[in-house]
Homo-oligomer: A and B are copies of this chain.
Amino acid sequence: MADDAVIDVRPIGWVRAPPGSDHQEIEVRSEFAEGLEGVEDLDHLWVLFWMHELSPDRRRQLKVHPRGDRSRPLTGVFALHSPMRPNPIGATRVRLVRREGCRLLVEGLDAHDGSPVLDLKSG
């Protein structure tokens, strides 16, 4: 793969997380419905999503104060779990409450409403 190559990633769905709600929903594109078969048997799954609200400026920031705490020294973003990073991919293990067709009702997904979902995995 060439050094300047860019990978095109097409979301498989989106996060629906109305502010104030204690559940979140993952809406999977209908064309990928088949890929969800068996998900309903899982208690937990991994959600990879794109933190689409992170500005280009914040994506360029390579060192941050851990948890935004200025009393802690600046640390590289790859040594942290901060959302700030060049490729803002979130990876969160969530509890699956239930599946309704192409919608998954989950708990524990720290993603903003509208975040593109890149992948779902067991584990």
Q: Do the beta carbons of B37 and A63 come within 8 Å of each other?
A: yes
Could you tell me the distance between the alpha carbons of A52 and B76 in the complex, rounded to whole angstroms? 27
CB–CB A39/B76 < 8 A: yes
How far, in Å, is A1 (CB) from chain B's closest CB? 6
CB neighbours (8 Å) of A50 from chain B are: 7
Contact indicator A122/B79 (Cβ below 8 Å): yes
Cα–Cα distance between A6 and B118 once the two chains are bound (Å): 11
Partner of A10 from B74, B87, B123 at Cβ < 8 Å: B87
The docked-state distance in angstroms from the alpha carbon of A79 to that of B32 is: 12
Q: How far is the CA of A69 from the CA of B96 in the complex (A)?
A: 26
- Report the interface size class on chain A: 35 or more
The answer on a CB contact under 8 Å between A48 and B9 is: no
A58 within 8 A of B: no
Instruction: Please tell me which one of the listed residues B28, B41, B89, B114 contacts residue A119 in the complex, with CB atoms under 8 A apart.
Output: B89
Q: Is the CB of A121 within 8 A of B7?
A: no
Cβ of B116 and Cβ of A1 under 8 Å apart? yes
Complex-state Cα separation, A45 to B76, whole angstroms: 13
Most chain B C-beta atoms within 10 Å of own C-beta, residue among A35, A39, A45: A35
Q: Which 8 A-B pairs have the closest CB atoms?
A: A38-B79, A37-B76, A78-B120, A35-B62, A34-B62, A38-B75, A39-B79, A35-B76
